[in-house]
A and B are shown apart, each in its own frame.
Chain A
């Protein structure tokens, strides 16, 4: 059965479906790492996307090689970028046009979850980090 996760930012909640059909190992590692409570920041290179660094749980130690390499981060998608040498995995959520980039160019990420239902409140909260600065974020298990 499809696993769902809930993302909460600034009081706005939205449900995402884990895409274990695309990335079974990465989504399993994320599921086993929940709940995650940390700081959400706006990206500075990748467009309309926010990120959180996860330093604990199986998701923090996933292999550096992307399970399903993509660079686009479509609106309403969560992707994972493992950085084991730095001791964390970065999760990004897009609220508009976004592409994963570093100063050296595009990087590959793995899509892990897709928004289900109305994401407008969450998108607004994500967008507000651009003007209002960082916010708390919770990623927890939703319905199965």
Chain B
């Protein structure tokens, strides 16, 4: 059965499907790291996305499976070199001061994503907010 996660931002919960087949090792590490209670902040280099930093996922040994550079809206991507999980709501790319980079695309939100994408976007003008990511049971 596919692994699912629940993401809660601003009281709104969305479900995302983990890409276990395309990114088995990266997804396994992410799954082990759950639950995650963190502060979601808007990116400063990558465009229309927000991010959290997770210490236990800062490990360059995590492979860049299902490798992407540009993030599609609703994509959830891991950059293991600094344990960053990015949540895209529009045009976005794995970037930093050095230029363009790669990330492992580990999950994609499902269903009606409009409220989720707006909640991510609100970090741009409204500032940081709490995010919870946990396993969806059952």
Closest CB in chain B relative to A128 CB, distance in Å: 9
Smallest CB gap from B127: residue in A: A133
* Cβ–Cβ contact A131 & B125, under 8 A: no
Q: Does B22 contact A (CB under 8 A)?
A: no
B108 within 8 A of A: no
CB of B102 to closest CB in A, whole Å: 17
Contact A99/B91 with A44-B46, A46-B45, A130-B44 known, Cβ cut-off 8 Å: no
Given contacts A99-B97, A132-B127, contact A47 B47 (CB under 8 A): no
A5 shortest CB reach to chain B, Å: 25
Verify B42–A45 contact, CB threshold 8 A. no
Q: Say how far B119's CB is from chain A's closest CB, in angstroms.
A: 14
Does B48 sit at the interface, judged by CB under 8 A? yes
Interface of B is mostly: mixed
Given contacts A99-B97, A103-B91, contact A48 B44 (CB under 8 A): yes
Least CB distance from B52 to A in Å reads 13
A side interface size, CB within 8 A: 18
- CB of B47 within 8 A of CB of A42, answer no
Tell me the A residues contacting B by CB distance below 8 Å. Answer: 41-48, 97, 99, 101, 103, 129-134
Q: Is the CB of A44 within 8 A of B48?
A: yes
Smallest beta-carbon distance B45→chain A, Å = 6
Q: Which of B82-130 contact A (CB under 8 A)?
A: 91, 93, 95, 97, 123-128
By the criterion CB–CB under 8 Å, are B44 and A44 in contact?
Answer: yes
Most buried by B among A42, A44, A130, A131: A44
When distances are taken between beta carbons in the complex, the residues of chain A under 8 Å from B48 are 44
Given the complex, which residues of B lie within 8 Å of A47, measured CB to CB? Answer: 44-45, 97
B43 at the interface (CB under 8 A from A): yes
Establish whether residues B128 and A132, one from each chain, have CB atoms under 8 Å apart when the complex forms: yes
- Give chain A nearest CB distance to B53 CB in angstroms: 13
Complex: A2 Cα to B46 Cα, angstroms: 37
Given that A47-B97, A99-B97 are contacting pairs, would A134 and B125 also be in contact in the complex, using a CB cutoff of 8 Å? Answer: yes
Are A131's CB and B127's CB within 8 A?
A: yes
